[in-house]
Amino acid sequence: MESNCVFCKIIDRKLPAKVEYEDDQIIVFHCKDPSAPVHLLAVPKKHIPTLMNVEEADLPVISHIHKIAQQMYRQFNLDGMRVNNNCGEKGGQDVFHVHYHIKGWK
């Protein structure tokens, strides 16, 4: 874990978050500054700075995030959903720990 990473601190329970899902690979919690009626962040527990740093061995966790996004869609009874990843500063990434925004509408 990276000591200055806000998501690592949430994973380590050093910062609070409203957690919706957690297992040994990922954590999903509510965004503190939502831009949709449902706005969750899905974060791998392994610290990976950007999507461009994902290695072959990391692909199962990326796939797992998409599976859990489907679960969140059902859990929140959504009618529409957007799943996105911002990569790099110019791509809008502000926390350099891979994460996916799961935004949903009813």
Q: Which entry of 39, 64, 66, 99 is annotated as an active-site residue?
A: 99
> Is position 40 within any domain?
yes
**Residue partners of 5: CB distance under 8 A and separation at least 6:** 47, 95, 96, 97
Tokens representing 29? 């919690």
> Is position 97 within any domain?
yes
Residue 1 reports pLDDT greater than 80: no
> Is position 15 within any domain?
yes
CA 33 to chain centre: 14
* Number of domains, the chain: 1
Contact 47, 58 (CB under 8 A): no
Contact 69, 30 (CB under 8 A): no
**For the chain, what is the mean pLDDT?**
97
Annotation marks residue 47 as catalytic: no
Q: What is the pLDDT of residue 3?
A: 81
> Is position 20 within any domain?
yes
pLDDT digits (tens, 9 = 90+) for 38-61: 999 999 999 999 999 999 999 999
What's the domain range around 36?
6-105
* pTM: predicted TM-score of the whole model, two decimal places: 0.96
> Is position 19 within any domain?
yes
* Residue 27's CATH number: 3.30.428.10
> Is position 1 within any domain?
no
